[in-house]
Structure 1
Amino acid sequence: MKLVSRDIDKNDSGSVSLVPEEAEDMWHAYNLITIGDTLRSTTIRKVQNESATGSVSVNKVRTTLTIQVEAIDFDTQGCVLRVKGRNIEENQYVKMGAYHTLDLELNRKFTLGKHEWDSIALDRIEMCCDPTQHADLAAVVMQEGLAHVCLITPNMTLVRAKIETNIPRKRKGMCQQHDKGLEKFYDMIIQAILRHVKFDVVKCVLVASPGFVKDQFYEYMFAQAVKLDYKVLLENKSKFVLVHSSSGFKHSLKGKCKQD
């Protein structure tokens, strides 16, 4: 579901404009709309015209109506939501108070108004409009000192965290600072994964890098998971897949990413 606009005041009264983009969104719309709400959308209306000679013609016109909802019917096979109610706004084709049925379909915007949005309806809006709910693939694209934690949906790649830090160079006989910097960098990536990857949704986590950075990080992450009892990582260890990437691959992914 695409959220076009949201205008809800501090008293939880107002409206939201939404565009259903897939079949499941129509089910969410069915659960959001209740009797007594106002609904605004485009529709087709038959209009009779009488000429000077007395002949009558019927034409179909597209117009925008706002109705007060009285009945709701969900056609699951046709993926159409039919909402019946009385027209409550001036319209050149439909009289005030006249009945009309609005057909809500995929990719057709509608505006839903409520006197009071309860927490259940607001939570449903948040859930169905959150693209990460449809991101069943995650990726950690990294090199030493730089990493992107991404969630990948069917339509876009979302960068949820960018971790960038200076790691001291390795010097002969003085590797301690380098190792400490690397561990701090790895710890930041682990925290980003724990914060942003929803393992109840995500089916696979790609860990990609040129060279052996990915392998070193993977070993460190699960050693820390055992040490600090990160159960969510240990329970989902099988979902992590190591991938060798070139710089070209990283640039390609970065070009497709949308920063939130």
Structure 2
Amino acid sequence: MKVISLKKDSVTKGGAVITLLPEDKEDLFTIYQIIDKDDELIFKKKFTSKLDETGKKKSTDLIKLKIKVISNEFDMKGEYLKYKGITVTDETGDNKPVGKYLGFTLDYVYPFTIIKHNFNKFMQKLLNDACNVEQKSDTAAIVLQEGIAHVCLVTASSTILKQKIEYSMPKKKRATDVVKFDEKTEKFYKAIYNAMKKDLDLEKLKTIILCSPGFYAKILMDKIVQYAEEEHNKKILDNRGMFFIAHSSTGYLQGINEVLKNPLYASKLQDTKYSKENLIMDEFLLHLNKDDDKAWYGEKEITKAAEYGAINYLLLTDKVLHSDDIAQRGKYLKLMDSVESNGGKALVFSTLHSLGEELDQLTGIACILKYPLPDLDEDNNEV
């Protein structure tokens, strides 16, 4: 993300004017979290003039426009973020036409400006993280089973499927079938290897997880080394230490979450960004299942625990911090400050990720306590 300029309190108290240029999918997700309904956007949009007398199109002009946001459409996998709104007059009064319904799809070519009426600490952190190269994804995963594999990037917002490889494997009933099976298997592993080279940047990654039921991940590792030696691919051979093999119950995407949450792999994943969040969510669910009064969810219960200074980990979804209710949003930000001032930590989970979806089903706010506190869900109004 390139933040070209950021001026706070430029519109109203607590607001900001931000000019930026997204550079990848993760930047689109950051922008999606920042822009609210009724914020204003200034952008450039191409318009092709009507046909002339000869039937040919006239020139294509790049027009500067300003809209007040009404709604958005976002698809992380499709790399698509579009805002719809009503055109409004800009500072010079040149924005024409005014009052027209218009859409704006973000791209990586032209910078645009966000005029926000509520810019808070959480949004500032989102921008800081997006501009910090170290905050980008450092973990990839290839999860597979017989005939199917998924090459993915594991990011703060989601597990992004880069490529799916699928082969129909013949049954081994006769000797000729065995030969066909072996040929198909070789093509399958070679396709995974080529997808990995195409979609994963080894220079930016710290860890590549190979996970599967059975021995498929181990075979893939051997094949990767074999193919790299045949091609004299030093980039892979010099970085073979970043690969590690893990067991999962499935070759589909949920297998990656199994590995990230598995304490057996914690030491190997401790330097990656997203293993800690998985382990903390797993710890929360463990306390919840044990019913030991150390895990709670719900605004009332969490607020009460924060007043006691008893929260070790505060878990929130990006959805509650992106609430349309500005007062509610401010309340959660103050809650985060309160927890951190008492030695706890606040973690924000994306609802585009399975962990965030799980937390969202539990009201979107939860906590792990430093010590058990029973009866947080009871009203203490007795004198």
User: TM-score, normalization: structure 1?
Assistant: 0.51
Task: Indicate the structure (1 or 2) with the bigger Cα radius of gyration.
Answer: 1
**Are the structure 2 counterparts of residues 168 and 64 from structure 1 closer, same or farther at C-alpha, using a change threshold of 3 Å?**
closer
The change in CA–CA distance for 1:248 and 1:197 in structure 2 (over 3 A counts) is: closer
Return the offset for 1:135: 1.1
1:155 counterpart residue number: 157
- Matched with 1:210 is 213
Query: 2: CA distance between counterparts of 1:138 and 1:64?
Result: 36
Distance 1:243 1:171 in 2: 31
Distance in 2, Cα, partners of 1:189 & 1:199 = 15
Aligned counterparts of 1:170 and 1:65: Cα–Cα separation in 2:
60
Deviations 1:214-244 (A, max 9, x none): 1111112211111121222111100000001
CA shift for structure 1 position 253: 4.7
For 1:44, the equivalent position in structure 2 comes to 12
Structure 1: 5+ residue stretches without partners: 2-27, 46-61, 67-86, 91-101, 109-127
Partner in structure 1 of residue 230 of structure 2 = 227
How far is the alpha carbon of 1:247 from its aligned partner? 2.6
Distance (whole Å) between structure 2 residues aligned to residue 199 and residue 165 of structure 1: 26
Matched residue, 2:147? 145
Is 1:190 matched up with 2:193?
yes
Moved more, 214-223 or 143-152: 214-223
Superposition CA RMSD, Å = 4.0
- Runs of 4+ in structure 1 deviating by more than 6 angstroms, as ranges, are 39-42, 62-66, 102-105
Q: Work out the CA distance in 1 between the residues paired with 2:134 and 2:186.
A: 28
Q: Return 5+ residue gaps in structure 2 as ranges.
A: 14-37, 43-89, 94-114, 125-129, 258-351, 355-383
Residues 59-96 of structure 1 show CA distances to partners (whole Å, capped at 9, x for unaligned) of xxx99798xxxxxxxxxxxxxxxxxxxx9346xxxxxx
Structure 1 residues 227, 249: closer, same or farther in 2, change over 3 A? closer
Q: Give me the whole-angstrom Cα distance separating, in 2, the residues matched to 1:168 and 1:248.
A: 19
Provide, for residues 135-154 of structure 1, a one-character-per-residue CA deviation record: whole Å limited to 9, x for no partner.
10000000011000000112
Superposition deviation, residue 133 in structure 1: 7.7
Contact 1:142 1:148 in 2 (8 A): yes
* Cα displacement string for residues 36-68 of structure 1 (whole angstroms, at most 9, x for unaligned residues): xxx9996226xxxxxxxxxxxxxxxx99798xx
1:82 — aligned with what?
A: none
Percentage of matched positions with identical amino acids = 28
Amino acid at match of 1:191: N
Query: Which of 235, 241, 247 in structure 2 is aligned with 1:244?
Result: 247
**CA distance in 1: counterparts of 2:249 and 2:173, whole angstroms:** 26
Shift of the 42–158 alpha-carbon distance from structure 1 to 2, 3 Å rule, reads farther
Aligned residue for 2:209, secondary structure, equals: strand
Q: Distance in 2 between matches of 1:89 and 1:105?
A: 28
- C-alpha separation between the residues in 2 aligned to 1:64 and 1:150? 35
Q: Tell me by how many angstroms 1:251 deviates.
A: 3.4
Cα shift readout 1:76-119 (whole Å, capped 9, x = no counterpart): xxxxxxxxxxx9346xxxxxxxxxxx9976627xxxxxxxxxxx
Give the number of aligned pairs: 159
Partner of 1:114: none
- Structure 2 letter corresponding to 1:43: V
Is the CA contact 1:147–1:163 (under 8 Å) kept in the aligned structure 2? Answer: yes
CA drift at 1:201: 1.3
